Amino acid sequence: MTFEVSNMALALPEMFMLAMACITLLAVSFLGKNGAKAAYSLSQLTLAITAIIIYQSLGQTGTTFDGTYIKDGFSDVLKLVICLINMLVLLYSTSYLKARDLFKGEYYVLAIFSTLGMMIMVSAGHFLTIYLGLELMSLCMYAMVAMYRDSFVATEAAMKYFILGALASGMLLYGMSIIYGVTGNLSISAVSASIQAGSLDNTVLSFGIVFLVIGIGFKLGAVPFHMWLPDVYQGSPTAVTLFIAAAPKIAAFAMAIRLLVGGLGGAYEYWQDMLIMLSVLSMIIGNVVAIAQTNIKRMLAYSTISHIGFILLGVLSATQEGYAAAMFYALVYSLMTLGGFGMIILMSRQGFEADQLDDYKGLGRRNPWFALMMLILMFSMAGIPPLVGFYAKLMVIKSIVDINMLSIAIVAVLVSVIGAFYYLRIIKLMYFDAPEQKQLLEAPSDMRVMISINGIAVLMLGLFPGSLLALCASIFPL
């Protein structure tokens, strides 16, 4: 095992975050009522310093802990984005939690530990490392959903999430055990080498891949493993929904890339057809069912399912261009989702959740600026040019056109047109309906500023997508 200090330094971001998570936990325990404020400050400080550590080490690559931990451009970019997104998530969440007597240090401790799990998943070079990171991330999120103990809906959502999550984790672990039985290895690079050698039992290998895809599909929220997602999004406090909806999808995408591309890339013919089914079903069901929703959190949950279908389009292409397009889409999706659920929190106040579509009637008259931010976010999710969501969809569709999957590309274009309906419905409610709510927005100034920057970033990335596209392209091959 390579435990020299020089090698361990590659994992400095994770080690620092673990130490700070423990310090934050102790602060919450000893400070009592003031623990929540200290936990918020410490968690933001932890994420900021971790992002700085990652940024300063950009360009360094290598493995440590006997190949179980990988540091490369792929992991650095995704971990940097995860830290920045979760900083905004915690900032957006604070006013919401205070208004509902949920401003507790435990929320921030769980958020930091969950972020640590995401970072471990992103840098995993071993099946067990992936599983360790996945369980650390997931167990924290189960507890976060259940924090609102006075809410029957939140408790029910937590139970569904926990039971189905445990089932999916079991499927993933079973698939890993089958792959281990076939290849004799749990290291991702060793599994890849065994597949490249071509001396494996392909029937058993394909059987193991099926269970891996099931686990990946659940964590991403792809059809038919999506049943938990709408209920959890709707039932959780909006601050928790925001946390679940943004950065964890980046970590799940990283898990899919590490397993399917890094480990099983030589056997893509076995998982490509499965991803085609998951992708097409997710795009169709996500966009069609979203039309029938009246709760905006539930609508955005089905929107997420459809976006996952588009991300999978890039992965199933099994090309470097497709992987880069999928990564671009995952990053863009997280930014758009951050803004979308951030707007729900911005609109809400004590005793009012702002989770019904009718709550957005007349927002254009009540607050033209934030109505414009919501318009930008919804247009981007719909894939309307020149916003960044358009380029994300364009790139993944191009990746499958390049491998002559024209029928799937046509389906993707058609469901995008269908999906535009429910996004445009929100625009119609904001600008063409009379307002039902008369109260002014009560969000603090720092949240207003960051929501505005969030929306403007979506616009600017749409006008100038080249830098992010080039960055994603430069990372592959892994």
Domain tally for the chain? Answer: 1
**What was the pLDDT predicted at 64?**
86
Angle, in degrees to the nearest 10, between helices 388-401 and 445-463: 40
What does the pLDDT read at residue 4? Answer: 60
The residue segments making up the domain with residue 351 are: 5-475
Structure tokens at 294: 């009246």
Q: Report whether 82 contacts 122 (CB < 8 A).
A: yes
For residues 254 and 257, give the distance between their C-alpha atoms in angstroms, rounded to a whole number: 5
pLDDT in the model for residue 282: 95
Q: Give the pLDDT of the chain (478 residues) as one tens digit per residue.
A: 545 665 778 899 999 999 999 999 999 989 877 888 999 999 999 999 999 999 998 888 888 888 899 999 999 999 999 999 999 999 999 988 988 888 889 999 999 999 999 999 999 999 999 999 999 999 999 999 988 877 888 889 999 999 999 999 999 999 999 999 999 889 999 999 998 887 778 889 899 999 999 999 999 999 999 889 999 999 999 999 999 999 999 999 999 999 999 888 888 888 999 999 999 999 999 999 999 999 999 999 999 999 999 999 999 998 999 999 999 999 999 999 999 999 999 988 877 788 889 889 988 888 899 999 999 999 999 999 889 999 999 999 999 999 999 999 999 999 999 989 999 999 999 999 888 777 777 778 888 999 999 999 999 999 999 899 999 999 887 7
Structure-token pair, residue 339? 């803004």
Gap between the Cα atoms of 247 and 81, Å rounded: 8
Convert the pLDDT of each residue in 375-431 to its tens digit. 999 999 999 988 999 999 999 999 999 999 999 999 999 999 998 999 999 999 999
Q: Are 111 and 237 in contact (CB under 8 A)?
A: no
Nearest alpha carbon to residue 42 among 87, 89, 74, 81: 87
**pLDDT recorded at residue 461:** 93
pLDDT of residue 65: 87
What is the residue-wise DSSP string for 100-165?
TT---HHHHHHHHHHHHHHHHHHTB-BHHHHHHHHHHHHHHHHHHHTT-TT-HHHHHHHHHHHHHH
